[in-house]
Structures are given as structure tokens and as C-alpha cells.
């Protein structure tokens, strides 16, 4: 076996080191140059709903921080999975992101198959926000507490419908968890977003919903719908005097809807790190915090690694809820 001459070996080592150095420099330059054009933020639900409200608020601020517009692209359908699939197939160049929600950890338990793997095909950037859901009813329903609602449903089996932003959405699984926890007979009516669902509950086409706070908040304040309880473990400062579902006689009931920034798998680390750093700064801006507080929203504080672990835990939780409740996408 011949031994490689020392000079040639030294040259190979130097050449390899040079390549690594060049790659590192190129990565840094790519992050420095990014973004050089508008960024698309895919919001996987219809305009006017909570995901859209959060996406536009944060997108505007991120655009200002990055020096390029962040354009919201609403891609509603299939409980948020159509938008997620769109981003999973996008070029991983830092110009397409997804505003993921709790619904994306619910989907694996609802659908027989999905065209993407949420934990493998999309990479976390950071948590954007979280908010409790609110159990609301149409003003014509003669109930003012959760226990009165349960009694009303049992007195009218099969006659009470609850709405959602779509199959597999947070409202859907929140409703199924409520049905299973209370032993009530309620029927699911899916919509293509929270906004059209709210229109119908105000009009009396459906009787109840467990909707996200920002979407429900203005209609609760205006008296168009009645809030019976919030779904968080503790009461929300946004709804003084409104109890939790758990303390209202449904112990252990808890749902917190969250929103997270995700990128297609393979997006350069330097770009993900910069996006995460800018997001963290945006979420600490006083006007963002104030706007969120008014709507019962808490700014996120998880980095990419923490978010990845959280998503894994949430997916396991909601697969079990779907299995126990029997909820499925037909």
C-alpha cells in the first residue's frame, strides 16, 4: 500500500479547509443578502379569522424589520392542511413561510393520510402567539352558563350545532373534546375559516362554537354573541368575570390555540436564525404586546428547539383526543 506524499496530503487538507471556509462565508453572505425581495407568509385559513389577524399583525412588523414586505397569502381549506402542504412543497430559499397553528398537530389524528409530514417537512422558526378559545353561543339560546348549556343540549338532542373553521381545526377538536367530556349530542358544521363561521353563529344558523379569542372578541364586546367560558387553565384578563370551562363543571378541559412560524425543510440555517431573531424582537415591541393584550393573545416566547419539542408533545396529545372522541375527516 502506497503512502500519499506529505505535500499532496497537506494540499488536500488545505483544499478541504478552503472549501469549508468558502461554504461558511457563502452561508453568511446568503443571510446578509436575505431578503432581497418580498416574502410570502402563507396563512392556511380564510381572511378575517384569528390566524389571519395574527399573521397580518406580525407579518407587517417582520417586513419592517427585514426591509422587505411580508405578503400574506391566504390558502384556506382542509383544516389548514392545504396551506401547510403548499409551504412544504415550496423552495426552501427563505421566501416562503407558514403560519402554523395547533390545527396542524391535530390533523394527523383526523386525516387518514396527509401529503406532508408536519414534523419532518416543515422546520420551526419560533412561537408567534397563543390564545384561549372562548365558548360562545348565539344570543337566542336561553343559557348563561356552561351547565345551563349542557342541560339545554341534553333537552334538545341532535338539535344543537357547533361551528368550526374547518375539519381538523382547533374549533373542531375543541368541540369534539367538549362533546366527549360532557356526553352531549352536538353536531359539527365545518366552514372554510373562522370569519364565515362567526357570521353564521351571529345569524343563528348555528348555535355555538368554541372559537379563538381574537375572532370572537369584538362580537362578544358588541353583544352579538354570548361568552360562557374560556378554555384555558386560568381565566383570561381579556374576559373579566368569565370562568374557565374546567371550573364550570367540565374538569380537566383545556385548549390553548397557538400560532408558530415555520419554513420548508432545507431552508438555510442562517436564514432561519435571522428570521427567528427578528421575530423575537417584533414580539417584544410595546405596540404588538398591547394589541395582543386587547384581544386576549399572549406573544410567543419559544425558540426553534423549544417549539420542535412542543409540537411533538402537542401532536401526541391531539392524536389521543381524536382517537378517544372518534373525530375524523370524512
Digit-by-digit pLDDT tens for the chain (330 residues) are 445 555 555 555 444 554 545 544 444 555 579 999 999 999 999 898 889 999 999 999 999 999 999 999 999 988 899 999 999 999 999 999 999 999 999 999 999 999 999 999 999 999 999 999 999 999 999 999 999 999 999 999 999 999 998 888 889 999 999 999 999 999 999 998 888 999 999 999 999 999 998 889 999 999 999 999 999 999 998 898 999 999 999 999 999 999 999 999 999 999 999 999 999 999 999 999 998 988 889 999 999 999 999 999 999 999 998 998 888 886
Check: CB of residue 50 under 8 Å from CB of residue 213.
yes
How many angstroms separate the CA atoms of 87 and 318, rounded?
Answer: 22
How many angstroms separate the CA atoms of 158 and 275, rounded?
Answer: 48
Which residues make up the CATH 3.40.190.10 domain(s) of the chain?
Answer: 132-248
Burial (CB count <10 Å: 0-12, 13-18, 19+), residue 28: exposed
Check: CB of residue 197 under 8 Å from CB of residue 163.
yes
**For residue 263, what are the β-bridge partners?**
123
pTM of the complete model? 0.82
What stretches of the chain show up as alpha helix (H) in DSSP? 6-33, 50-66, 81-88, 103-110, 118-121, 146-155, 170-182, 194-203, 213-221, 269-282, 286-294, 304-325
Cell readout for 304 is 426553534
Check: CB of residue 287 under 8 Å from CB of residue 299.
no
Cell readout for 21 is 471556509
Q: Report pLDDT digits (tens) over 74-97.
A: 999 888 999 999 999 999 999 999
* DSSP character string of 223-264: TSEEEEEE-SSS--TTSTTPPBTGGGT-TT---EEEEEEEEE
Q: Report pLDDT digits (tens) over 6-38.
A: 555 555 544 455 454 554 444 455 557 999 999
Which residues make up the CATH 3.40.190.150 domain(s) of the chain?
Answer: 37-130+256-325
How many angstroms separate the CA atoms of 138 and 247, rounded?
Answer: 22
Cell readout for 295 is 384581544
How many angstroms separate the CA atoms of 174 and 216, rounded?
Answer: 15
Q: Report how far apart the first and last C-alpha atoms of the chain are (Å, whole number).
A: 66
CATH of 37-130+256-325, one of 3.40.50.2000, 3.90.1150.10, 3.40.190.150, 1.10.1740.10: 3.40.190.150
Fold of 132-248: D-Maltodextrin-Binding Protein; domain 2 (3.40.190)
Is residue 50 helix, strand or coil? helix
Q: In which residue are the cell numbers 336561553 written?
A: 142
Distances (CA, A) of 192 to 45, 77, 134, 315: 7, 6, 19, 22
Is residue 97 helix, strand or coil? strand
Cell readout for 316 is 401526541
Amino acid at each position: 500500500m502506497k503512502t500519499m506524499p506529505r505535500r499532496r496530503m497537506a494540499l488536500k487538507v488545505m483544499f478541504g479547509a478552503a472549501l469549508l471556509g468558502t461554504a461558511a462565508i457563502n452561508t453568511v453572505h446568503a443571510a446578509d443578502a436575505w431578503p432581497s425581495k418580498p416574502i410570502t407568509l402563507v396563512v392556511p385559513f380564510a381572511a378575517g379569522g384569528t390566524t389571519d389577524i395574527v399573521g397580518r399583525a406580525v407579518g407587517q412588523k417582520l417586513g419592517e424589520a427585514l426591509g422587505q414586505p411580508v405578503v400574506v397569502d391566504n390558502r384556506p381549506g382542509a383544516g389548514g392542511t392545504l396551506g401547510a402542504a403548499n409551504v412544504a412543497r415550496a423552495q426552501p430559499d427563505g421566501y416562503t413561510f407558514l403560519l402554523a397553528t395547533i390545527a396542524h398537530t391535530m390533523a394527523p389524528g383526523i386525516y387518514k393520510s396527509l401529503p406532508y409530514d408536519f414534523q419532518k417537512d416543515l422546520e420551526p422558526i419560533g412561537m408567534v402567539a397563543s390564545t384561549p378559545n372562548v365558548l360562545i353561543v348565539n344570543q337566542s339560546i336561553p343559557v348563561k352558563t356552561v351547565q345551563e348549556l349542557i342541560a339545554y343540549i341534553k333537552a334538545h338532542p341532535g338539535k344543537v350545532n357547533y361551528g368550526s373553521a374547518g375539519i381538523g381545526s382547533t374549533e373542531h377538536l375543541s368541540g369534539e373534546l367538549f362533546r366527549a367530556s360532557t356526553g352531549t349530542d352536538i353536531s359539527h358544521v365545518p366552514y372554510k375559516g373562522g370569519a364565515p363561521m362567526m357570521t353564521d353563529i351571529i345569524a343563528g344558523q348555528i348555535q355555538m362554537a368554541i372559537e379563538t379569542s381574537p375572532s370572537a372578541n369584538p362580537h362578544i364586546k358588541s353583544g352579538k354573541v354570548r361568552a360562557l367560558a374560556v378554555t384555558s387553565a386560568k381565566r383570561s384578563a381579556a374576559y373579566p368575570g368569565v370562568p374557565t370551562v374546567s371550573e364550570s363543571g367540565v374538569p380537566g378541559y383545556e385548549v390553548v390555540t397557538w400560532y408558530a412560524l415555520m419554513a420548508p425543510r432545507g431552508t438555510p440555517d442562517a436564514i432561519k436564525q435571522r428570521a427567528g431573531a427578528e421575530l423575537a424582537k417584533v414580539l417584544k415591541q410595546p405596540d404588538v404586546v398591547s394589541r395582543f393584550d386587547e384581544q386576549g393573545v399572549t406573544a410567543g416566547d419559544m425558540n426553534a428547539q423549544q417549539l420542535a419539542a412542543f409540537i411533538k408533545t402537542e401532536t401526541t396529545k391531539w392524536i389521543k383526543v381524536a382517537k378517544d372522541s372518534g373525530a375524523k375527516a370524512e
